[in-house]
A and B are shown apart, each in its own frame.
Chain A
Amino acid sequence: NAGVTQTPKFRILKIGQSMTLQCTQDMNHNYMYWYRQDPGMGLKLIYYSVGAGITDKGEVPNGYNVSRSTTEDFPLRLELAAPSQTSVYFCASSYLAEQYFGPGTRLTVT
Chain B
Amino acid sequence: AQSVTQPDIHITVSEGASLELRCNYSYGATPYLFWYVQSPGQGLQLLLKYFSGDTLVQGIKGFEAEFKRSQSSFNLRKPSVHWSDAAEYFCAVGAGGATNKLIFGTGTLLAVQP
Contacts and interface: CB of A to CB of B under 8 A. Distances in A.
Interface of A: 4, 31, 33, 40-43, 45, 48, 50, 56, 58, 90, 92, 94, 97-104
Most chain A CB neighbours (cut-off 10 Å) among B43, B46, B49, B105 = B43
A42 B49 CA distance: 18
B43 A101 contact: yes
B90 A42 contact: yes
B43 A94 contact: no
A4 B45 CA distance: 12
Contact of A90 (B32, B44, B94): B44
A88 to B, nearest CB: 9
Contacts of A94: 100
A28 to B, nearest CB: 15
Contacts of B9: 40
A97 B32 contact: yes
B100 A97 contact: yes
B100 A102 contact: no
DSSP class of B's interface residues: helix, strand, loop or mixed? loop
Nearest to A43: B104
Given A40-B106, A97-B32, A97-B51, A50 B98 contact: yes
A33 B46 CA distance: 16
Interface of B: 9, 32, 34, 36, 42-46, 49, 51, 90, 94, 98-102, 104-107
Contacts of B105: 42
A86 to B, nearest CB: 16
A98 B101 contact: no
A101 B44 contact: yes
A41 B100 contact: no
Contacts of B100: 31, 94, 97, 99
Contact of B43 (A40, A42, A90): A90
A4 B42 CA distance: 13
